[in-house]
Each structure stands twice: as C-alpha cells, then as structure tokens.
Amino acid sequence: MAGMGSRELLVETMSELMWERGYADTSPRDVRERSGVGQGSMYHHFATKRDLAVAALERNVADLLPAAFEFDGPGDPMARIEAYLMRPRDALKGCKVGRMTQDRQVREDPVLLAPVARAFAQVHLSWVKVLREAVAAGELRSDLDPERLAHTLMAVLQGGYVLAIARQDPGPFDDARAGALDLLRAAAPSTPNGKNDKRE
C-alpha cells in the first residue's frame, strides 16, 4: 500500500542528496533519515546504494530533458536558443546531471555514468537540431558547424556553473551565457545594417 509511496520518496530524496552532496557523501542512512523511510522498506526496493543511485540519476535526467525539448517548439530558432540559454537557473546549485561527472565514484562506474552520458547525448541532439534550423532560417552563418557549436553552448552552461560556484556569485554564469548569445548574434550572416554577407 505504502509501497509505491516509499519507493518514490527514496528516489526523490536520493536525487536531492546527490545534487547537494554528491554520491560519495550520501549514505543510505542519510536517505532514510531525510525520507523517513525505514531500513526494511529501503532494502525491499533497492538492494544497494548504487541501485538507488541509478534510479535517482534516471530521475534527474528526466527532470533535465524536458527543458532541452523546448528547442523542438515552434517559433524563431534564435529566439528558442535565447530562451533556453537565458532561462532562470540556480547558478550556485549547478546542474543536477553535470555535477555527477565530478563525483569520482560516479565517474568511475560505467553503470552510474550511463544515464549522465545518455542525457548529454540527447541534449546535444536537441542543440544540433535548433542550430541547424537557425542556419536554415538565415540567422547563423552557414559555415558554422552545428555539431561543434552544440558542444560549445552546452559547455558554456556547464562551465558557467563552475565559475559561479568558484566565485560564490551568479554573475560569471550570467556573463558566460550572455556572452555566448552576443557571439551567436555576431555570427549572423548579415551585418546589422541589413547587408547580406554573400559568401556561399
């Protein structure tokens, strides 16, 4: 009866704790204390901390992906890029998924790293798609490589978190993404006064 509820609660709590503290610093006992779920119920659902962590990582990935899928919506591609880059994010908390790469035990365990790698691969596909649309719409120069640029823009967000946490200030994160947008706009095929850059 309370079965489903306690499983969900364990996954949710593990997800929060891994984001706050990382995998290594989270013990099964921490999860039980915060969730209020007992030891018997915990081991009924998850034989090991690692099994619980895989479920929590899948949950974090599921939380992250809908945001990237906004790219697939209608409207001007560059406006969708701007909306995705600039939407409110908690710079000092960092990315729920990206953070996991810095956790040694996650990084060194292919099973734990798999959901993280899969999430980044999917976000990359979404970025490539919207960047191709921006090129097709004449908003980005056609000699830019969308596959490459997709990694550049993903790195800006992931690295922006690192800078913000180092300085304990969201400013560098906001600078990093605004600067990326400035560069994308500077990479439009036409000059701001409307002349086309005819190089094709």
Residues in the site for a copy of itself, rule: CB under 8 A? 20-22, 24-25, 94, 97-105, 107, 113, 116-117, 119-121, 124, 141, 144-145, 147-163, 165-168, 172-173, 175-180, 182-184, 186-187, 191-193, 197, 199
CB of 21 to a copy of itself, least distance (A): 5
Closest C-alpha to 14, from 39, 38, 1, 33: 33
Q: Nearest distance from residue 143's CB to a copy of itself, in Å?
A: 8
Q: Which is nearer to a copy of itself, 8 or 174 (CB)?
A: 174
List CB contacts of 165: < 8 A, sequence separation 6 or more. Answer: 91, 92, 94
Write down the least CB distance from residue 40 to a copy of itself, Å: 29
Instruction: Please report how close the Cβ of residue 188 comes to a copy of itself at its closest, in angstroms.
Output: 9
Amino acid at 163: L
Token representation of residue 13? 């709590």
Of 65 and 178, the one with the shorter C-beta distance to a copy of itself is 178
3-state secondary structure of 121: helix
Least distance between a copy of itself and beta carbon 121 (Å): 7
Q: Which is nearer to a copy of itself, 28 or 101 (CB)?
A: 101
67 Cβ contact partners less than 8 Å away, ≥ 6 residues apart: 84, 87
Extended strands (E) in 95-154: none
Number of C-beta neighbours around residue 36 at 10 A? 9
Tell me whether residue 10 or residue 150 sits nearer to a copy of itself (CB atom). Answer: 150
Supply 157's token pair: 């967000």
Q: Of 19 and 46, which has the nearer Cβ to a copy of itself?
A: 19
Count of residues in the chain = 200
